[in-house]
Amino acid sequence: MVVVIDGKAKAASVIETVREAAAGLEQQTGVKTGLAVVIVGDDPASHAYVNSKSKMAKECGFKSVQHTLPEETTQADLEALVATLNADASIHGILVQLPLPKHLDSVPVIQSILPEKDVDGLSFVNAGKLAAGDLETGMISCTPAGSMLLVRSIHGEDLSGLNAVVIGRSNLFGKPMGQLLLNANATVTMAHSRTKDLAAVCRNADILVAAVGRPQMVKGDWVKPGATVIDVGINRVPAPEKGEGKSRLVGDVAFDEASAVAAAITPVPGGVGPMTIAMLMANTVIAAHHASGKSAPKF
């Protein structure tokens, strides 16, 4: 029987650790962990994500600040806001929700966030630390960090001898995920849209991580028998069976087919999704500990 990996339960246990760590820090030092989330424009999906981030921060006992900026915000205004948050000692984590509206250039905005407040792990300093194998002093991007906790719940800390395939090579997910798997001694293949015979590459994976953004693209016969499948996709597709105009969420993996072959698999929803927010809270409380000269909790 396939193990359906319970991301909700794992995320809840991460959140509990965060809550305790935040309370402990406040009791010891008087420092309240602070997270600022910035969103520009009106994209409804982004607003839903950001609202749940702000809400969870409150539930963790953080100071939670949300800046909602209009679509017509200028590059200079957005960078000025980041500069203000950088200088605000009560804010330990800054997240600028991506994607930004088309007229804004995300690179200088993201790179202007102080690395020690970059809870997305996107600054060149944090990306470089991860690439160099420093998992202690930098910030690791939340979705790969959360996916890695799910991998570890199946395989433990050491992935020696295992082949891992990551489909997708984004800075936000694929690249850091590949680095984390490599750090844990897996033999890693980074696959992407230009990979030849992707199905055959995937069939070699003991750990298959899909982050392609295409609903149910990874089929059952792409999965090696006994593999662990981590589905990072969140795709909304029409669901006429639920009624006219209704939709449902599916991953990048054809779940039913893949479950018949895999030994462990993450569902969508309820797999990687809840881990992303949990790890954002984890990164924020880690940043608050670093800023206060205290040793940070481990996840």
In angstroms, rounded to a whole number, what is the distance separating the alpha carbons of residues 266 and 122? Answer: 25
Q: Which of 10, 118, 120, 224 is catalytic?
A: 120
Asked if residues 124 and 95 have their Cβ atoms less than 8 Å apart, the reply is no
Q: How many CB atoms lie within 10 A of CB 197?
A: 9
CB half-sphere exposure, 221, CA atoms < 13 A: 1
In the chain, the amino acid numbered 152 is: R
Query: Which listed residue (11, 81, 95, 191) binds ligand GUN by CB under 6 A?
Result: 95
Q: How far is the CB of 96 from ligand GUN (least distance, A)?
A: 6
Q: How far is the CB of 278 from ligand GUN (least distance, A)?
A: 12
Catalytic site includes residue 8: no
Q: How far is the CB of 50 from ligand GUN (least distance, A)?
A: 9
Catalytic site includes residue 42: no
Catalytic site includes residue 97: yes
219-226: list long-range contacts, CB under 8 Å, 24+ apart.
Answer: 219/254, 219/257, 219/258, 220/254, 220/256, 220/257, 220/258, 220/260, 220/261, 221/257, 221/261, 222/198, 222/258, 223/257, 223/258, 223/261, 223/262, 224/261, 225/261, 225/262, 226/262, 226/263
- Asked if 98 touches ligand GUN (CB under 6 A), the answer is yes
- Asked if 97 touches ligand GUN (CB under 6 A), the answer is yes
In angstroms, rounded to a whole number, what is the distance separating the alpha carbons of residues 78 and 109? Answer: 7
Hey, is 34 helix, strand or coil?
A: strand
Question: For ligand GUN, how many residues bind (rule: CB under 6 A)?
Answer: 9
Q: How far is the CB of 132 from ligand GUN (least distance, A)?
A: 22
- Asked if 120 touches ligand GUN (CB under 6 A), the answer is yes
Q: Which stretch binds ligand GUN (CB under 6 A): 93-101, 192-200, 201-209, 238-246?
A: 93-101
Q: Which of 97, 129, 224, 231 is catalytic?
A: 97
- Nearer to ligand GUN by Cβ, of 97 and 259: the residue is 97
Q: Which of 10, 53, 117, 175 is catalytic?
A: 53
Active site residues: 53, 97, 120
Residues that bind ligand GUN (CB under 6 A): 95-98, 120, 142-143, 172, 276
